[in-house]
Amino acid sequence: DTEVTQTPKHLVMGMTNKKSLKCEQHMGHRAMYWYKQKAKKPPELMFVYSYEKLSINESVPSRFSPECPNSSLLNLHLHALQPEDSALYLCASSQQGFPNQPQHFGDGTRLSIL
Partner 1 sequence: EDQVTQSPEALRLQEGESSSLNCSYTVSGLRGLFWYRQDPGKGPEFLFTLYSAGEEKEKERLKATLTKKESFLHITAPKPEDSATYLCAVPINQAGTALIFGKGTTLSVSS
Q: State the residues that interact with partner 1 by CB under 8 A.
A: 2, 4, 31, 33, 41-45, 48, 50, 55-56, 58, 90, 92, 94, 96, 98-108, 110
CB of 39 to partner 1, least distance (A): 10
How does DSSP classify residue 79? Answer: E
**DSSP-based three-state secondary structure for 83:** helix
90 near 105, Cβ under 8 Å?
A: yes
Query: Residue 14 or residue 58: which is nearer to partner 1 going by CB?
Result: 58
Query: Residue 78 or residue 109: which is nearer to partner 1 going by CB?
Result: 109
Among the listed residues 108, 114, 113, the one whose alpha carbon sits nearest the alpha carbon of residue 9: 108
> How far apart are the C-alpha atoms of 52 and 84, rounded to whole Å?
29
CB of 84 to partner 1, least distance (A): 19
Query: Residue 18 or residue 41: which is nearer to partner 1 going by CB?
Result: 41
CB of 101 to partner 1, least distance (A): 8
Amino acid in position 87 = A
